Chains A and B, each alone.
Chain A
Amino acid sequence: MVYGTRSFIRANMGILAGLLVLCVIIAVLNPNFLTTNNLLNVLRQTSTNLYLALAMTMVIILGGIDLSVGSVMAVSGVVTAMLVALFDVPLFIAVAAGLLVGILFGALNGYVAATTVIPPFIITLATMNIGRGAAYVLTDGQPVRVMSDAFNFIGSGYIGGILPTPVLYSIIFVILCYLIMNKTKTGRYIYAVGGNPEAARFSGINIKRVKFFAYTFSGFMAGFAGIVLASRMFSGQPTAGVAAELDAIAAVVLGGTSMTGGYGRIGGTVIGALIIGVLSNGLNLIGVSSFWQYIVKGIVILIAVYADVIKRKTA
């Protein structure tokens, strides 16, 4: 296998070109787009979606889907915020509890997906509702305000006065997920199970374990995203992360991952998430109303994926 930048560019040529064109158009319409501050801002805004999308890439390559991540974000954020604000629990324990909630939801998805024949779409549709409901029940539908500088630093802080903390996490997670998918047994097995489940079974690959891992990891990432988002909003909100799963899926698909499983790349997902981030940032800068932004986003997804399909056919 050839690793490195050249193969990365070759594999993601179409989508990279799309991202560049998008950046150029926006920069022409509003030169402020290209300032360091704004670019870091784009990266920060992209980060929570990226956490979800990275794990979603694994789940989708595996041949599954995880609709519950948006709701899990809300529960984890709410749990951590409540522990800090209402029970005065030490921060790291509160964060650990929030992450644990995410892991438990993911493990539930993974366990049911691995041991039953219920389609993952249905399983995670169910846990999506359970999660959202749990967030509302816990908070009685009200946001939980947090007055803690340490807590707020998690999502709103800067490293060295310049690098936003969420961007730092993004970098760490991208590297981690790249390593998992390309350099570990687990990653190879995810491709195997998604590409040909029968062949995986005949090769003695533990399919249940692979599924359990991917969904649990997705739950963990959702929990992490939820905590970062709560910190950025200075509160745990039961409405946080509504439709976040759809943005994550959009990023994965833009990145060229096959919805039927077996094929996909972490690098593609990073670019996919960036396109979505750049698009909403740019549309804001240009002054397009948020209502219209949905329409533009939908059209861009259709065009980009169609272009990618064409490119793959001719390649």
Chain B
Amino acid sequence: MDGNDETTGRVTPITLPSFIEVERMSQKLLQMSGIEKRFAGVHALKGVDFELESGEVHALLGENGAGKSTLMKILAGIYPVDEGEIFIEGNKVSINSVKDAQAYGISIIHQEISLVPHLSVAENIFLGKEPVTKTGWIDWKRMIEETRKTLQQFGLELSPDVQVKKLTVAQQQMIEIIKAVSFRAKMIVMDEPTSSLTEKEVEFLFQTIGHLKEQGVGIVYISHRMNELFAITDRITVLRDGALIGTVRTKETTADQLISMMVGRELTQYYIKDTAPENGGEIVLSVHNLSKKGVLNKAGFELRKGEILGFAGLVGAGRSELMKCIFGLDAFDEGEIRIDGKPLIIRNPNDAIKHGIAYVTENRKEEGLFLIRSVQYNITIKVLDKFIKWWFRVNARYEDQRTRQFIDELSIKTPNPDQEVRNLSGGNQQKVLISRWLATNPRILILDEPTRGVDVGAKAEIYAIMNRLVKEGVSIIMISSELPEVINMSDRIAVMYKGGIRTILNRDEFSQETIMHYATGG
């Protein structure tokens, strides 16, 4: 609708003589032009253009629901295209199935890893194309040999015999990439590949990507993490509401420009945080010398009323583990937890909830939401007591009112309270999960990676909710691996390292360097 076609200065293929066309197209690995897609009533893609050159890392950026995954699903043969054309190495193709896509050298690495856990590395890489001997048996020797060679090539020190389930997430992801390459993939789509990787593993992934680039593989990289985009991509294409907003060279753009392209407005108030009065509130929660063998080592901190205490640290430093102990999900060996100065015993989450603690998990789909149930079900599940009429009956009308209140207050975008949560976008799912815990009227709210996998607009809204809660006197603990987020939203930052709290920084000491210094044990 914005008529962006002119900006690329490209002419539609049909109007040109075919011989010229072929020459022009042959430089491009992939060219998708004028892609249209409609789902029952939803115009998901509005004439989107996208191209990929060989040896290029091209990021696809946009809020959840902008059409990134729809576009990639069309490329992968999962959805048929309504209108538009796809060229691969200059030839017009039609991709009607996943098999077609594979034959054209397109490979997608999904957020969820799709390896068979009980099979070995070699078996996984060769799954569906096992080499056979003359007699028709599987040629194990060749399979193992070739796997070993490939692993070496990628710098992985792994045995081809090891079961995939024994590998780390990062290693599994490498195996997925190797699998894709072994299918002779010319294009690899990576959908948020770093969402569950540690810093070190991310580094390794980036090395692998560099390796693939040298081999001339084109990579479509989907991620919300700005620093990654600037680290490895060559170009960035931004989509919004199913329309192409523009394609920019990474070197010539800034994070602010990308964000405003994504949301269609300047986000002057991206991080919404009023500074709390210094040492204002009394201590509501204090943790002393909490230890758990191999996980936590004498962790201790104090949380004041109305503050946001950020928790920074590397993955595996014990941040979530510490919170799970406080919330009664895990047991600990030694230590003490006090609320309002009084020591208390927390055996299970209900004990914690009774003392006004709430914990919003980092894995909202696995540990948080009941995906096939409604928004209302998910919001009220912890507070059904409030709607009980007579001696057991849950009153539907009160429940409905309360749900609508949350939908309004947190501006959850859902057609109605009966909508199944799995149909909501990531940001709205997160708001549903936060609502569940706000419904319990917590005094202490623990948010574990509250904006992971959430688009920029929803992020800002979640920050606004946090800011409002703090003003109302709620104390918030926020675990976050995004340093800009911790720095901008926290009043103080606790940095964890190897199960212990290395230091607690005040606002005037905040900087990425300082945090990383302590997070790495300095």
Contacts and interface: CB of A to CB of B under 8 A. Distances in A.
**Do A and B make up one complex?**
yes
Interface residues of B, number: 31
A202 B394 contact: no
B481 interface: no
B384 interface: yes
A188 B394 contact: yes
- Most chain B CB within 10 A, of A179, A192, A201, A203, is at A203
Interface string A196-235: 1011011111100000000000000000000000000000
A185 B361 contact: no
A262 interface: yes
A201 B366 contact: no
Contact of B372 (A1, A3, A262): A262
A206 B348 CA distance: 9
B370 A192 contact: yes
B142 interface: no
A4 to B, nearest CB: 11
Nearest to B417: A1
A1 B374 contact: yes
Given A179-B393, A184-B393, A263-B372, A199 B367 contact: yes
Interface string B379-412: 0011011001000111010000000000000000
A2 B366 contact: no
A204 B396 contact: no
B329 A202 contact: yes
Contacts of B384: 185, 188
A33 interface: no
A157 interface: no
A76 B415 CA distance: 50
A191 B384 CA distance: 14
Contact of A199 (B369, B392, B396): B369
B198 interface: no
Contact of B381 (A3, A183, A192): A192
A18 interface: no
A202 B370 contact: no
B114 to A, nearest CB: 19
Interface in A152-206: 179, 183-185, 188-189, 191-192, 195-196, 198-199, 201-206
A203 B366 CA distance: 12
Given A183-B394, A184-B393, A203-B349, A1 B376 contact: yes
Contacts of B328: 204
A253 B329 CA distance: 34
Contacts of B376: 1
Nearest to B360: A202
B381 A203 contact: yes
Contacts of A191: 370, 373, 377
B467 to A, nearest CB: 25
Contact of A198 (B349, B352, B367, B374): B367
A184 B392 CA distance: 6
Contacts of A192: 370, 373, 381
A204 B436 CA distance: 12
Given A198-B367, A204-B349, A204-B353, A183 B392 contact: yes
B348 A204 contact: yes
Interface in B135-172: none
Given A183-B394, A185-B385, A204-B353, A198 B366 contact: yes
A191 to B, nearest CB: 6
B350 interface: yes
B219 to A, nearest CB: 33
16 contacts: A1-B418, A3-B396, A179-B392, A183-B392, A183-B394, A184-B392, A185-B388, A188-B384, A191-B373, A192-B370, A192-B373, A195-B372, A196-B370, A199-B366, A202-B349, A202-B367
